[in-house]
Amino acid sequence: MKGAMVRSLFAVKNWAGVAQETPALVQEIEAAGWDGLFVVDSQNLSGDPYVALALAATVTKRLGLGTGVTNSATRVAAATANSITSVHRVSNGRAVLGIGRGDSALAHLGRAPARLKQFERYLRHLQVYLKGEAVPFNEVDLPVEWAPPMSELHLHDAPPDSRIGWIAEGLAKGETKVPVEVAASGPKVIAMAALHADRIMFTLGADLDRLRWGIDLARKTRQEAGLDPDGVAFGSYVNLGCHTDPEAARSLVRGGLTTFARFSVMHGKANGPVSSGDRAVLEALRSNYDMKAHTRGDSRQAGTLTDDFIDRFAIVGRPERCIERLKSLAVLGLDKVAVSGASRGAAESDIAVGRRLVTMEVLPGLKAA
């Protein structure tokens, strides 16, 4: 694919709260050349993403804005569609909904990721709401133990189904629909996303063999369903550590990489093609994972990652190496990369060097490619 390039680079950020410095921070991200911003949705660890995104929309002009990622359990689909479309309208069409089955957001409620059946139903409902269409009441995920049927109110008249009218009105006037991007690492979620998402954002690391496996699986799923194999776009979440010192570069991503690598072995069996050595690392990561130290570079789980594993699953090193690795993702067919930066606990001096190199060399290098 000669001349292929990543058309969209999103920075992934975790705001502990929507603070006064948020406007300056997002303006800095836009000025640095990033194409977009993903905000984490994990209610016990960060502030509300839709408040942060709406605030960001008011102080930026071109920056794409999305959740990276929300989940199918902590909000009903109608509320999620309403919130992200509100951001879409405030930003004049710059919003995107990133969603997965849930990790830290559910762990801090004492739960594992959403079940596959519920997740697929949620994705279907999301797309229906975002198109301004209706979901039948008997399909809405709201247990009667929480709220009894509306029929108990004996109303004179009532809505016949669940529909967000103002979204339908906006689409009729020419507003665009919010795209849905599904974070996926396992074969079942990849296949599900191939049928219901506008883009699949792989959480398979930067390993080309694993990403190729995911793309092939998605295309095959669509083809077998009688759909255009090219009807879904592909992107990836990638941990990026840019530094002139190789060990410092690895330290920048070590904690964050544990989170993304764990997705590939969360339920005990490694997803996709992995060597025996990588499988051993993934299994050690899973058995040593401490959710209280989520994304920390000095955590127990971070100590299970070998240098070879980090070099393959993440993108680390000097600017020229980072640029070449990012270009290789585009050649594979990915048009969007969400970059997760420095891990919690990384040295501030290394973070400063990494930020400067990405801003001054990596981003301009990619734009010039």
Alpha-carbon gap, residue 47 to 52, rounded angstroms: 8
Alpha-carbon gap, residue 319 to 17, rounded angstroms: 31
Whether residue 19 has pLDDT greater than 90: no
Q: Is 297 contained in some domain? A: no
Report the chain's terminal Cα–Cα distance, integer Å.
Answer: 13
Is 330 within 8 Å of 3 (Cβ atoms)? no
Q: State residue 169's pLDDT score.
A: 98
Q: Is 111 contained in some domain? A: yes
Q: CATH number of the domain that 102 lies in?
A: 3.20.20.30
Residue 78 tokens, joined: 């109608």
Residue 57 tokens, joined: 């929309």
Segment 275-322, tens digit of pLDDT: 999 999 999 999 999 999 999 999 999 999 999 999 999 999 999 999
Among residues 318, 306, 326, the alpha carbon closest in space to that of 368 is found at: 326
Q: How many other C-beta atoms can be found within 10 angstroms of the C-beta atom of residue 65?
A: 27
Alpha-carbon gap, residue 221 to 217, rounded angstroms: 6
3-state secondary structure 66-80: EECCEECCCCCHHHH
Whether residue 2 has pLDDT greater than 50: no
Q: Give the pLDDT band of residue 5 (cuts 50, 70, 90).
A: low
The model's pTM: 0.95
Q: State residue 66's pLDDT score.
A: 97
Is 204 within 8 Å of 185 (Cβ atoms)? yes
Q: Is 156 contained in some domain? A: yes
Q: Is 167 contained in some domain? A: yes
Summary mean pLDDT of the chain:
94
Phi then psi dihedrals of residue 65, to 5 deg: -135, 125
Beta-carbon contacts of residue 314 (< 8 Å; ≥ 6 apart)? 205, 206, 238, 239, 240, 241, 250, 253, 257
Q: Is 12 contained in some domain? A: yes
Q: Is 11 contained in some domain? A: yes
Segment 142-183, tens digit of pLDDT: 999 999 999 999 999 999 999 999 999 999 999 999 999 999
Residue 124 tokens, joined: 């279907």
Beta-carbon contacts of residue 177 (< 8 Å; ≥ 6 apart)? 130, 131, 171
Q: Give the pLDDT band of residue 131 (cuts 50, 70, 90).
A: very high
Q: State residue 30's pLDDT score.
A: 95
Beta-carbon contacts of residue 286 (< 8 Å; ≥ 6 apart)? 262, 265, 266, 268
Q: Give the pLDDT band of residue 1 (cuts 50, 70, 90).
A: very low
Q: Looking at this protein, which amino acid is placed at residue 37?
A: L
Q: Is 215 contained in some domain? A: no
State the helix-helix crossing angle for 116-130 and 187-196, rounded to 10 degrees. Answer: 20
Q: Is 238 contained in some domain? A: no
Beta strands in the chain (DSSP E): 8-13, 36-39, 64-67, 70-71, 95-100, 180-184, 199-202, 233-242, 315-317, 336-340
Domain that holds residue 137: 1-178
Q: Give the pLDDT band of residue 191 (cuts 50, 70, 90).
A: very high
Alpha-carbon gap, residue 60 to 41, rounded angstroms: 21
Does the CA dihedral 238-243-244-249 come out positive or negative? Answer: negative
Q: Give the pLDDT band of residue 81 (cuts 50, 70, 90).
A: very high
Segment 202-256, tens digit of pLDDT: 999 999 999 999 999 999 999 999 999 999 999 999 999 999 999 999 999 999 9
Number of domains observed in the structure of the chain: 1
